[in-house]
Amino acid sequence: MKISHKALIILLNLLVFFLLAAPNASGNTTLGDSTFPSEDGDYYIWSCINSTGDNHNIGDLTKFIVEFVYNESFEGKRSLIVNYSVEEYDIIGGSWIRNQDNIFYMAYNNSLNFLNWSSISYKAANLFLIPIPTNLTLVGDAIKSAGFLNYYIDNNKLILDYGNLTTVEITMSSLGVSTVIESITNGSTIYKWELNEDEVIIIIPMGNYFLFFGVLTSSMCLLLVKRKLDKNEVIH
């Protein structure tokens, strides 16, 4: 009976752990010749590791959510179209705030060399994911065609020039995911966001941490109580 109780408790803890630590991004979506590196409902999270400005705190989180990936015509071209949402987590306020809700992100057709970005995305430096295989020139040209800013490419880094001595440097992985997003003004970092892993970031919210450790603590208490009861039975 002791083995059964222990096995059940261990199994329960393992189950809770794997449920909480399951990856948030599952794969990619390919329609025709166009590929987007995620599917409906996938999300990625970046953490702020450096901030000297007023809008971000070190430790804040940004979540990019892929709402819908679908295939329709855009500006007369058959395209892979993506809608997205963005949520910000302020460690001081302690809550997620959705500031961009299910809006147009991009339209892409590889064979036509066509890519159209949402102005909200690139003006706010929200180029979190790009089509794969990565083509930074295509991304930069699509943004520049809107007449908003210039761009430069340095290996796997796309540098957006916002003027006024301000640039945003976006480091892209071969999987089409931004691993680092850094804003620099006059040579100084204003904010720097980093993805913990190239492929998928696994974030366990604090509430889930409490749930996991709560189950773990309860399990340990049950074991201690059971051992004490078993000891009392032996004594008597």
Whole-angstrom distance, CA of residue 203 vs CA of residue 33 = 32
Same domain, 189 and 234: no
Same domain, 199 and 212: no
Same domain, 176 and 77: yes
Q: Cis before residue 133, ω within 30 degrees of 0?
A: yes
Whole-angstrom distance, CA of residue 114 vs CA of residue 8 = 55
Q: Which residue has the higher pLDDT, 143 or 93?
A: 143
pLDDT surpassing 70 at residue 99: yes
What does the DSSP 8-state code read for residue 40?
Answer: T
Exposed e or buried b per residue across 37-51, where buried means at least 16 C-beta atoms within 10 angstroms of its C-beta: bbeeebbbbbbbbeb
Same domain, 165 and 183: yes
Same domain, 64 and 174: yes
Number of domains in the chain: 2
pTM exceeds 0.85: no
Place of tokens 């690139």: 122
Residue 151, amino acid? Y
Whole-angstrom distance, CA of residue 119 vs CA of residue 125 = 10
The count of other CB atoms within 10 Å of the CB of residue 148 is 14
End-to-end CA distance of the chain: 19
Same domain, 178 and 61: yes
* pLDDT tens-place string over residues 183-200: 999 999 999 999 965 333
Same domain, 61 and 73: yes
Can you say how many angstroms the Cα of residue 14 is from the centroid of all Cα atoms in its chain?
25
Same domain, 92 and 13: no
Give the structural domain span for 97.
28-203
Could you tell me the sign of the dihedral formed by the alpha carbons of 120, 123, 124, 129, in that order? positive
Q: What's the longest Cα–Cα distance across the chain?
A: 86
Alpha helices in 21-124 (DSSP H): 119-123
* pLDDT tens-place string over residues 201-223: 334 444 444 444 444 455 554 55
Whole-angstrom distance, CA of residue 55 vs CA of residue 48 = 11
Same domain, 161 and 104: yes
* pLDDT tens-place string over residues 19-61: 333 335 567 888 777 899 999 999 999 999 999 977 788 888 9
Same domain, 198 and 221: no
Cα distances from 175 to residues 25, 35, 77, 83, 115, in angstroms, run: 12, 11, 25, 19, 17
pLDDT surpassing 90 at residue 130: yes
Could you tell me the sign of the dihedral formed by the alpha carbons of 91, 97, 100, 102, in that order? positive
Same domain, 138 and 83: yes
Same domain, 15 and 83: no
